[in-house]
Structure 1
Amino acid sequence: MQNPTNPGSGIKLVAQNERKRSLNRSFPERTERLSTKHGYSWQVRLAGEKGGRVTGRTHLAVGAAAAMLAAGPAASLTGLALAAAGGAAGAVLPDLDVRDTAHPWRERLARAGAAALLVGALVFDAVSGASLARDAVARGVGPLLLGTVALVALACAARLSAHRGFSHSLLALVGFAAATHLVCPPLAPAVALGFATHLALDALTYRGLRLFWPLHATLSARLCKTGGVADACCLVAALAAVLLVCWSVLA
């Protein structure tokens, strides 16, 4: 119906309804209410968020905590730093496929946090004897170059894939772990573990994930949602585990 006070509003409403139908077909995970300036209101569906995803900060914290616990209190400070950085980096890699979210700054902060931990660990290793650099020189430039190309290719594939598709699969986990092993072998186990924690947490959500991509079967326990109680509990438990490990090492 055309608004008599605005002759162009009818055309705009038709375009909005067409966009609504397109979004409903493309993003079947969450509804969010929007209102136009003419007073019309309708529902559009967006991918991810409520009921679909665990927050990026929780993924980062759980990945880092799991890798640090695996390293154990017997690990050196350098080993612990590398474990935390690798676990955090692996935990945020699957969500490279997130492009449309209601809170994009959360994803950026999680990725920035993982990058900061990784840079910090490399700097800490450099001032503690540069064992990673010496190992890289000993292995030669071939594995480093091949691993870097593989990481870039995998990251591009993850970025271009549908959410909870390739980047949330066992195939991606193995690929990123293998590529990381070529670039920096000591970092690969932590990256793989952090990646695995991300898949495990997402399997608990209502949306689930295609763990065995390219098969279409979806694994979902339907137990938690973004920002829910389970999400908060995982975050608190992960932070407590990180503090416990740090306390054990420093003590």
Structure 2
Amino acid sequence: MLGRTHFFVGIATALIALRPESLPVVVAGTGAAAIGGVISDIDSGTSTAHKEADKIVVAASLALGAVIIIEYNFHIGIYRRLLADSNLYRIMTGSLAFILLCVFGMRQPHRSFMHSLLALFLLSSCVGIIFPEVTPYFTIGYASHLIIDLLNRKREKIFWPMKKGYSFNLCSSKGYVNKMMMIAGILISVIYISTLPYVQEAYAAMLAVLGLN
């Protein structure tokens, strides 16, 4: 499937499965799920894949940047929860390990290491070192990517380093099913987040601060 489909399906799947109970968790968890949903497509093998990898890096960076901007401007408590679960040494160690794994993955053929259960485990472990509370969101977002890619015609080496790839060969990665999944992911994410009471309260408070309410 295309990157934008993985982005929204990852978010929707994590939100429905985990049902975040506070504003800091829904914001940080949504960002983690979005990154988990797209990051495995940074692997490459052709010039076209390199272009797609660049888009994935941008999408993941935007998701992380959005969380940082929201926390910086509205002080919803993400930073406080991060430090309560972690420390600077853990953040630096986990981030370095995450980056090194991604660099290794970028040099591998498409749908090999980065589309494997091993990568899912290793990268989720890195997130667990950095920010344990959002690890389930990242893991579910990542797992959703691996699962829906199995629907495509191109084989996925989900048990890498084993050479055999798997595919259900049910649909094209750019066809009708992809488009419907993306639309469903967007609708579920928007409806779910917008109906959370604490999100509605935060939105009303923000409008009041801006003098728009």
Shorter-chain TM range is 0.7 to 0.9
1:55 aligns with 2:2: yes
Structure number having the greater strand percentage: 1
The alpha carbon displacement at 1:134 in A equals: 5.7
Q: For residues 102-147 of structure 1, give each alpha carbon's deviation from its aligned partner in whole angstroms, at most 9, with x where no partner exists.
A: 4866654444233222222233234325443464377433322221
Could you say which residue in structure 1 is the equivalent of 2:160?
A: 213
TM-score, length of structure 2 as denominator length: 0.82
1:204 matches 2:151: yes
Paired with 1:155 and 1:106, the residues of 2 have a C-alpha distance of 14
Q: Which residue of 94, 97, 107 maps to 1:160? A: 107
Matches within 5 A, 1:1-251: 54-72=1-19, 75-98=21-44, 100=46, 102=48, 108-126=54-72, 127-133=74-80, 135-136=82-83, 139-249=86-196, 250=199
Are the aligned partners of 2:39 and 2:56 in contact in 1 as well (CA < 8 Å)?
no
Structure 1: 5+ residue stretches without partners:
1-53
Instruction: Give SS of 2:195's match.
Output: helix
| Structure possessing the higher relative contact order (Cα contacts under 8 Å, 6 or more residues apart) | 2
Cα distance, 1:66 vs structure 2: 1.3
Do the aligned partners of 2:85 and 2:132 also contact (CA within 8 Å) in 1?
Answer: no
Q: 1:148 to 1:237 in 2, by over 3 A?
A: same
The question of whether the paired residues in 2 share the 8 Å contact of 1:166 and 1:214 is answered with yes
Q: 1:146 to 1:212 in 2, by over 3 A?
A: same
Which string of whole-angstrom CA distances, capped at 9 and with x for unpartnered residues, describes residues 29-71 of structure 1?
A: xxxxxxxxxxxxxxxxxxxxxxxxx111111111111122234
Structure 1 stretch displaced more, 95-104 or 74-83: 95-104
**Alpha carbons 1:96, 1:158 under 8 Å: kept:** yes
Identity across the alignment (%): 24
Aligned length: 197
Counterpart of 2:63 in structure 1: which amino acid?
A: L
Unaligned runs of 5+ in 2: 201-213
CA distance in 1 between partners of 2:106 and 2:52 (Å): 17
